[in-house]
Structure 1
Amino acid sequence: MSEQGDDAVAATERSGRRPRSPAGTVRLAEVAAIAGVSDATVSRVLNRKYGVSVSTRKAVEKALRQVGYERPLKGEIVVILVPGLKTPIFAAMTWAIEQELTPHGLRAFLCPIVPGSVMERDYIEPMLDAGMVAAVFLSASNTLRNADPMARHLLEGRGIPYISVNGAFSDGQSPVISTDDWHAAELAVSHLYDLGHRRIGMCAGPAGNTPADRRIEGFVAAMDARGLNDAADYVVRHHFSVDGGRHAADELLARGVTAIVASSDDMALGAIRAAKRRGLEVPKDVSVVGYDDSYMLDFTDPPLTTVRQPVETLAENCVRTLVTMIQNRTVRATESFVDPELRLRGSTGPVPR
């Protein structure tokens, strides 16, 4: 908010009316009295200025909610921190979030980053006084252990709301919207098991990555539930990339697996490449399941069976929660999960005889 926040408060001082909409006004003195702070402190919180402690800011925000104040939304910026747009799933998610923001008068500002690095801080810091009202950590530092926390601390220090997608900060106090990675692994294992596969391996993402860790947990649990108790021995971690999938699949194929569950579509394509280099046919000799989904997977050789992240639902839930937070209304700082879907194509088939 700009200095218009002070003008709005002053207008109510003259009229004595309480707000009935985001465009309404509140009394500075009334909010200050409820929060036990000065009028100047309320003004700083309204305009998201430096120099207010987190506890004092929370007290003022609570008082603002008590009098029914909602911040205006029009023409404001939502920063989206995302690990590049080359990967189709991230391009699809950012586009979907941007489409959901537009009807609310909000504009997306895309920031391609290396997750958990100082790049997040370098984007956030100059945006604090440039009309920024919220941030989205889209598979960014929220998915990693021991990531640089400065970007999040800058937001919290200014009272700017943020939301995480596909992973929560270990000590964060904000809402999280995630795909149910445990269920995703169950869908993949169930499909392959029904096709007769019993020696199933997993090309998993790197250690310390929340979605990768969850998919492994789901994979092991799904295998255990079917009496395949050596599943942990058939998990190989590598990068979320084609080369990462190829290297991981080489190890699994050497152990005699007949099916592979990959932690991303890129890894799945790498697994198919590894199988073909060994003279194996997919799915005749080995079946492969990816994760994420993209329209391009209809045109791979063979078309890739995958577990689809519900991009539209993730974006809708994310923006609905963000708008509520921007308007200064209370939301629960919990993690909500949406269910993935299995998309059957040509890379899976019955276990070879």
Structure 2
Amino acid sequence: MADVAARAGVSRALVSIVFRGQPGASDETRERVLRVADEIGYRPDNAARLLARGRSRTLGVMFTVHQTFHADLIAGIYPEAERLGYDVLLSSATPGRSETKAAEALLSHRCEALILLGPDAEPAYLDELGQRAVTVSVSRRVPRARVDFVHSAEGEGVRQAMEHLVELGHRRIVHIDGGRGPGSVERRRAYRAAMRRHRLESEVRVIPGTHTEEAGIETGRLLLAERERGEALPTAVLAGNDRCAWGLLMVLTRAGVDVPREVSVVGYDDSHLSHLMPIGLTTVRQDAGLMAEHAVRFAVQRLENPELEPREVVLDPKLVVRGTSDKALEAPV
């Protein structure tokens, strides 16, 4: 600011007034100061200014780099944070970078609150984070941790998907498990409950997996190998999430399996790529925009009122029927 003041021929205090947008400078002076600042490449350091006041007004977001649904959540986080006067800083977990390291990096950069997208960390660590900073967990609920929770009603989403498949006449319905992925336990439990409800206990089959394309690819190869040994393909597969469904679709279609005529496939998330595939994916939609808004509001509200206790919101999912599900060939007339 001293450099700008000297070049513009005004006081440093007047430069400060211009940068803060406060009254006290004429339009001509304001224009001259801003022009000089632009000429010498000066930009006000808002972060330093906020830290001098004891605030960073920055929300840290921890996400997993290959999870497409996380990209949808981040797209919703930015506008809501900006609307409430907060900046956003991202830190990713990768195969070579743990969630712990990603979260600690956000805290080291003075983020006031953390929004964790589908965290896989131990419950004790999540509780510890919640004690150190305002923390919101999206898509995963951890009982008794001092963390706000935003997630969808996983069981209801699976129920809708299973009702859809059963109404189409499917009986041999396989579920690819999401492993430790967010919502996997609830989705697996809801799948088993739906099969029991429709008296299909003898057809229950849960194939271990993860929320990745690789899990779908492995399952596709497994099912094709079984077919070569004379075993029938399932007529429908409920994948742990959309990425898993994409991997499965790739293997099945390359092997000449007619989807959905021979095998129907249903995903979970309705991430932004689901309707862009050659065959639009039938999937359970989680409202990423609404989840993001709730996460940001929870974080900001507890920052502005530290006395608030952690809260939880459960959003209703909705089945979106596209081209990968159809009536089972063996369906009764």
Q: Percent identity?
A: 26
- Map of 2:185 onto structure 1: 213
Distance between the aligned counterparts of 1:163 and 1:318, measured in 2? Answer: 6
| 1:127 to partner: Cα distance | 4.5
- Map of 1:196 onto structure 2: 169
Structure 2 residue 113 is the aligned partner of structure 1 residue 134: yes
- Residue type matched to 1:215 in 2? R
Cα 1:293–1:120 shift into 2, 3 Å: same
Q: TM-score, normalised on structure 2?
A: 0.74
| 1:1-353 correspondence runs (5 A) | 76-84=57-65, 86-114=66-94, 119-125=98-104, 127-128=106-107, 130-142=109-121, 146=122, 149=125, 153=128, 156-157=131-132, 160-206=133-179, 208-230=180-202, 232=204, 234-252=205-223, 254=226, 256-353=233-330
Alignment deviations for residues 254-289 of structure 1 (CA, whole Å, 9 cap, x no partner): 353100111111111122223224431001111011
Q: TM-score, normalised on structure 1?
A: 0.70
- Residue type matched to 2:88 in 1? A
Instruction: Give the paired residue count.
Output: 272
Distance between the aligned counterparts of 1:324 and 1:194, measured in 2? Answer: 44
Distance between the aligned counterparts of 1:214 and 1:337, measured in 2? Answer: 13
Distance between the aligned counterparts of 2:237 and 2:82, measured in 1? Answer: 40
Unaligned runs of 5+ in 2: 1-52, 227-231
| 1:131 to partner: Cα distance | 3.7
Cα 1:129–1:212 shift into 2, 3 Å: closer
Distance between the aligned counterparts of 1:80 and 1:173, measured in 2? Answer: 17
Distance between the aligned counterparts of 1:121 and 1:352, measured in 2? Answer: 48
Cα 1:87–1:97 shift into 2, 3 Å: same
| 1:139 to partner: Cα distance | 0.7
Distance between the aligned counterparts of 1:269 and 1:129, measured in 2? Answer: 37
| 1:154 to partner: Cα distance | 5.3
Q: Secondary structure at the match of 2:145?
A: coil
Unaligned runs of 5+ in 1: 1-71
Distance between the aligned counterparts of 1:75 and 1:286, measured in 2? Answer: 52
Distance between the aligned counterparts of 2:105 and 2:328, measured in 1? Answer: 55
Q: Is the 8 A contact 2:123 2:142 kept in 1?
A: no
- Residue type matched to 2:80 in 1? E
Distance between the aligned counterparts of 2:218 and 2:169, measured in 1? Answer: 25
Cα 1:230–1:224 shift into 2, 3 Å: same
Alignment deviations for residues 297-348 of structure 1 (CA, whole Å, 9 cap, x no partner): 2231221111111111111211121111001244443432111111111111
Q: Is the 8 A contact 1:80 1:137 kept in 2?
A: yes
- Residue type matched to 1:240 in 2? H
- Residue type matched to 1:267 in 2? C
Higher Cα Rg, which structure: 2
RMSD of aligned Cα (Å): 2.6
Distance between the aligned counterparts of 2:243 and 2:181, measured in 1? Answer: 16
Cα 1:332–1:220 shift into 2, 3 Å: farther
